[in-house]
């Protein structure tokens, strides 16, 4: 029996006609019940890796498997029932209401027994992301942060056990950032495999079980947040000296050294 996990093995991604690859020799294993953060400087390949894990980008070499099955062998609907993806870009072309957008997350379950729970699942997802009061608003009229939360509600409504979130906190204010990270951690506690691309290293330190630090398309280090995000390594990879301090609650925080 194969172990249950989302796994990338020896993944290379190269764009035709370009010498440097976007990802080189990337190995990654995301087990159920883990909050796995992908961090790294701009252009390190975080979003590309997320795209590969989602099955959007076929690797030029290597493979991505879910519980031992290559992603491209799973049917599109079977895959949609297993993994949900939140992209940074959450615009909607037509004036759908927020509730309708969240309901679209139920599409993979259409015609299955799970479809009978649609209303409850949708209501729960709206409540979890604090957008119940926006349910009847037209998404195109919402602010960026509100749209991002509606997007997250849609992802939650999909009820997949692998969640891939690309910078879900980017457009959000402080409180909603923490809300989103808490939701992601709760999903991991409930047994989902959660992969989150994060820019905020302190959020990774506070929430992630596992951190993978990428730079220039390669994995620099993988392990527990405290082991990976040492001030020395972060300083070197980002080219910016940082110090690790301890906050009032005793949690480690990284602070850039400013002159």
Partner 1 sequence: MSGETVLPAPARAGRGRFATTVVVLAVALLVTLVISLGAGQYPLSPLQVVEALWHALSGHAAPSPAAGVVTSVRLPRIVLGVLVGAALAVSGVAMQAIFGNPLADAGVVGVSSGAALGAAASLTFGLSVLGTWTTPALAFVGGLAAVLAVYAISRSGGRTEVVTLLLTGIAINAIGGAGLALLTFLGTSSTREQIVFWQLGSLNGALWSSIALVAPLVIAGVVATIVVARRLDLLALGERTARHLGVRVEALRLFVIVVVAVLVCAAVSFAGIIGFVGLVVPHLMRMLIGPGHLRLTVASALGGALLLAIADLIARTAVPLADLPIGMLTALVGGPFFLWLLVRTRRQAGGWG
CB of 116 to partner 1, least distance (A): 15
Angle at 102 (CA atoms; ends 98, 103), nearest 5 degrees: 115
Using CB under 8 A as the binding rule, whether residue 30 contacts partner 1 is answered as no
Contacts of 232 (CB under 8 A, 6+ apart): none
* CB neighbourhood size of 70 (10 A): 11
Interhelix angle 174-189/144-157, rounded to 10 degrees, is 10
Question: Nearer to partner 1 by C-beta: 135 or 219?
Answer: 135
Q: Does residue 54 bind partner 1 (CB under 8 A)? A: yes
Name the residue nearer to partner 1 (CB basis): 7 or 82.
Answer: 82
Radius of gyration of the chain (CA): 19
Two tokens, residue 256: 């850039």
Separation between Cα atoms, residue 210 and residue 229, nearest integer Å: 11
Is 15 within 8 Å of 22 (Cβ atoms)?
A: yes
- Closer CB to partner 1, residue 81 or residue 233? 81
- Among 34-42, 104-112, 219-227, 231-239, which window interacts with partner 1 (CB under 8 A)? 104-112
Among 23, 24, 85, 254, which residue sits at the site for partner 1 (rule: CB under 8 A)?
Answer: 85
Instruction: Decide: is 104 part of the binding site for partner 1 (CB under 8 A).
Output: yes
Site string for partner 1, 110-129 (x = CB under 8 A): x-------------------
Q: Are strands 61-66 and 69-70 parallel, antiparallel or unpaired?
A: antiparallel
- Interacting residue ranges for partner 1, rule: CB under 8 A: 54, 56, 76-77, 79-81, 83-85, 87, 89-97, 99-101, 104-105, 107-108, 110, 135-136, 140, 154, 158
């Amino acid at each position: 029996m194969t172990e249950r996990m989302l796994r990338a093995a020896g993944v290379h991604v190269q764009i035709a006609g370009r010498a440097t690859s976007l990802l080189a020799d990337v190995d990654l294993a995301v087990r159920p019940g883990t909050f796995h953060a992908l961090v790294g400087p701009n252009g390190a390949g975080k979003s590309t890796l997320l795209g590969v894990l989602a099955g959007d980008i076929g690797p030029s070499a290597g493979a991505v498997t879910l519980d031992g099955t290559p992603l491209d062998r799973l049917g599109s609907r079977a895959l949609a029932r297993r993994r949900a993806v939140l992209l940074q870009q959450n615009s909607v072309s037509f004036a759908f209401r927020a509730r309708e957008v969240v309901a679209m997350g139920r599409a993979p379950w259409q015609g299955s027994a799970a479809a009978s729970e649609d209303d409850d699942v949708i209501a729960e997802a709206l409540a979890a992301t604090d957008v119940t009061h926006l349910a009847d608003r037209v998404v195109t009229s919402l602010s960026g942060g509100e749209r991002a939360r509606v997007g997250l509600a849609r992802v939650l409504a999909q009820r997949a056990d692998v969640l891939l979130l690309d910078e879900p906190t980017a457009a959000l204010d402080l409180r909603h950032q923490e809300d989103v990270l808490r939701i992601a951690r709760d999903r991991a506690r409930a047994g989902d495999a959660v992969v989150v691309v994060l820019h905020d290293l302190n959020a990774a330190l506070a929430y992630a079980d596992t951190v993978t630090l990428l730079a220039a398309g390669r994995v620099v280090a993988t392990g527990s947040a405290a082991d990976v995000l040492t001030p020395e390594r972060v300083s070197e990879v980002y080219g910016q000296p940082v110090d690790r301090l301890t906050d009032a609650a005793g949690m480690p925080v990284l602070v850039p050294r400013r002159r």
